[in-house]
Structure 1
């Protein structure tokens, strides 16, 4: 503020930024403790017989939140006098916030077994949720300090009175009262607990949990069988009207409308020893139509049929093969030459009495001899035949196969003794609707005296 000059005197008002505080700020009040949640009611299961009952499964009330503490007043020491600064008195402390009220506990779940719905009319139930606790009140703010002297002036002179350079300056100062502390916020009221809900089961024995699917060892399926079950539920409204007047419960309830049970048993009529397969597992499932579905593990090939009698599914096994045993064909070499050139295979898993086998063959020749064929890969083979191996050129003796390669439509020179050959077989092994391929490659040199083609 610019000076005001009157004669040889100047008057000044001190700048507001030049402020000195006095006293001590009051402390804020502590926040109120949050109320704890009311206890949920325990669930209750009863079998009704028509006797009058009064049930209280209501949730507990939530605990009220505590009030916030009051802020303390400012500590007001005496206002300094004759200071050359503006003064600010200390303020009061803020009130603490009130604690939130605890939520109410939930009403208990009620499961009733009743073969007659009229039995429920004899039951008065209170499954109300507990009320929420009240929020605590906010604490009051403390009082701020007050100024005893709101304004004062200080005069400062320079020079000697009567001299030309003599002048005096008067400065005015102020004191600002301290602010009262703010009132704390009140806490939130707790939410009310949920109503308990009814589950109604119209049978006279305990309901077992449903099991619509299971993966079970064959040993158990053969010895004891297995039962799958599925409980079907509906959600309905009108629970309150089922009970005696004055009852309080969630109006929406669950009711069991159906329980399906289906049995499965394994009948082993296969010639294979059962113990080899006992630890394999079938997966049983009830589908949407409540029919039994069976999933056989991928590593097991089964020939069997399913028979259904009432609610019992019988799975009859006539033959069983491990998938790993299907592709155990091993080349045992070639013999002869010309039209008598034959290739021998052996089924190391001894399963060929069950498994059908078809062959495709690719016959290729090279000028290299057997030793060269085995020690380094050749790229100069020439294909002389590629196609199906006719069934009349394949003979089976137990687990041995003899392929009359020399009877294929091949050039005579491709069958001569000393010719390097590569015979690639693609065997398709089939059983009871299953199928898998095995590739077999034989590299060798045709041996023996040459026999002319007929």
Structure 2
């Protein structure tokens, strides 16, 4: 019955259109047609962005002597320039919609507006330095040292109009075959037009920041203070060419600057008052065995005098230094350089071997750079092993037996050679016997002063019964810096 039903439906479908084909309008379904899209018109051009405003000029810095005469100063910063407005986008053009197109059509888009330019920042107020001997003379000084107003941000340009449709939809009838014949068919397809999008408006620019007020510096003395020289930078190889004379001004920071000046004065509340000028004559004493001539001329150091009167020396990051300051009589200071080691020399530990077994199991390292006398060295270890009698040596069969720091009492050092007594670690003795597979990950933490780095050393092999140094089956050495 299901098969007969299908045959009946097929027969009906064959007969039904033939019966209706006698009338042209009897078989003309309307179909919304969306295949293909045709544009018309040209997109409008986007507007240009507005130019940012220029920053205002900072006020002039001035130094004056307060002698009781009235002084009127304007050290204000100038205003920032306004940002330019963004240009409006251009409208789409040549917006002539095709007539009775056999495809859907869409109008061109309007141009976007340009962004407004940012306003320039206002200039900062100028700094005023006043020498005085009578604090009441400061009341005769009227100053305006305010920051300039920031410029206004430009407005974003407006987006422009896209092409518009003159006719939003239309029908086109298409027929095939000979009229009156069974093959004659007609279809009416519906097409649509969509307007082009209007352009987006540009973003408004940001307003510029207001400039900061100027600051006041007071010096209670009649004679000018000589310019300070708190730092000097030289090549390392020039450190022993003589003494370096440094000076630094010491100031006390206070609040309430405007209360010291004429009423109505505009200046930052924070001000500073001169205390003294300190001096140091610095000599560098080079005690490192490597001569200064070994350093490249481009490698430079900075010697600085701090406000606590201490002297510091700053080397490049790749050079580790042990320096000691030795104050002498008067204003002279010696900077003693005991060690100067390149960072690349710090990670030159090499595996010498693994020997013995049981509580005598030890691992030996040698410092190829021969710099260990100057460095502090600690060791972290992860000791993994197989079970006794396990000959598979698969990595998954290795289990952690100890992980942590190697105690200092288990480390011996002599002539740039380290020996670590692994047999005295809290490890079950059955994992220290000959034939056991061992995977050791050792991390050497090396430091000098405030510099520190790590070097990783790996060893994979079997514990041997014989006492000579065992030949490792594999080992890997790598360094990583943690400055």
Q: TM-score when scaled to structure 2? A: 0.50
Query: Which one of the candidate residues 84, 102, 106 is aligned to 2:124?
Result: 106
Partner of 1:185: 203
1:117 and 2:117 correspond:
no
Q: Is the 8 A contact 1:104 1:129 kept in 2?
A: yes
Deviation per residue, 1:248-297 (Å, 9 max, x gap): 1111111112346799xxxxxxxxxxxxxxxxxxxxx9998989xxxxxx
- Matched with 1:59 is 77
Determine the C-alpha separation between the residues in 2 that align with 1:289 and 1:143.
69
Superposition deviation, residue 211 in structure 1: 5.9
Contact residue 218 and residue 272 of structure 2 kept, 8 A? yes
Give the superposition deviation at 1:41.
1.4
**Quick check: 2:248–2:307 contact (8 Å CA) kept in 1?**
no
Alpha-carbon offset, residue 209 of structure 1:
2.7
SS of 1:87's partner is strand
- Which residue of structure 2 aligns with residue 245 of structure 1? 263
Partner Cα separation in structure 2 for residue 290 and residue 73 of structure 1: 71
Query: Taking structure 1 as reference, are residues 112 and 129 closer, same or farther at Cα in structure 2, changes over 3 Å only?
Result: same
Partners of 1:87 and 1:175 within 8 A in 2? yes
Question: CA offsets, 1:24-59, max 9 Å, x none?
Answer: 000000000111111111210000111111110000
Summarize deviations over 1:193-249 as a string: whole Å, max 9, x none: 11111111010111113468999xxxx99xxxx998653211111112111121111
* Distance in 1 between residues matched to 2:307 and 2:50, nearest whole Å: 57
Equivalence for 1:77:
95
Q: 1:160 to 1:84 in 2, by over 3 A?
A: same
Aligned-residue Cα RMSD (Å) equals: 3.7
- Pick the aligned partner of 1:12 from 27, 31, 39: 31
1:172 aligns with 190
Is the Cα–Cα contact under 8 Å of residues 103 and 192 in structure 1 kept in the other structure?
A: yes
When Rg is computed on C-alpha atoms for both structures, the one with the higher figure is 1
- Aligned counterparts of 2:307 and 2:78: Cα–Cα separation in 1: 42
Does residue 141 of structure 1 match 2:159?
Answer: yes
> What secondary structure does 2:39 align onto?
strand
Residue 173 of structure 2 is aligned to residue 159 of structure 1: no
1:175 to partner: Cα distance: 0.4
Q: Alignment partner for residue 200 of structure 1, among 218, 226, 233?
A: 218
- Give SS of 2:137's match: helix
CA distance in structure 2 between the aligned counterparts of 1:161 and 1:150, rounded to whole angstroms: 31
Partners of 2:80 and 2:148 within 8 A in 1: yes
CA deviation after TM superposition for structure 1 residue 115, in Å? 1.0
Say yes or no: does 1:92 pair with 2:110.
Answer: yes
Query: Unpaired segments of 5 or more residues in structure 1?
Result: 264-284, 292-305, 314-454
Distance 1:53 1:248 in 2: 14
| Contact preservation (8 Å) 1:33, 1:98 | yes
Aligned equivalents of 1:78, 1:287: Cα separation in 2: 78
Q: Give 1:129's match in structure 2, choosing from 142, 147, 165.
A: 147
SS in structure 2 of the partner of residue 171 of structure 1? strand
Q: Which residue of 2 aligns with 1:452?
A: none
Partner residue in 2 for 1:296: none
Q: Is the 8 A contact 2:250 2:307 kept in 1?
A: no
The 1:289–1:34 alpha-carbon spacing in structure 2 relative to 1, beyond 3 Å, is closer
Alpha carbons of structure 1 residues 38 and 228: separation in structure 2 relative to 1, 3 Å: closer
Q: Provide Cα deviations, 1:70-97, integer angstroms capped at 9, x if missing partner.
A: 0001003321111100000111100000
CA contact (8 A) 1:76 1:90 kept: no
1:185 positional shift: 0.4
Q: For the structure 1 residues 159 and 70, does the alpha-carbon distance in structure 2 shift closer, same or farther, using more than 3 Å as the test?
A: same
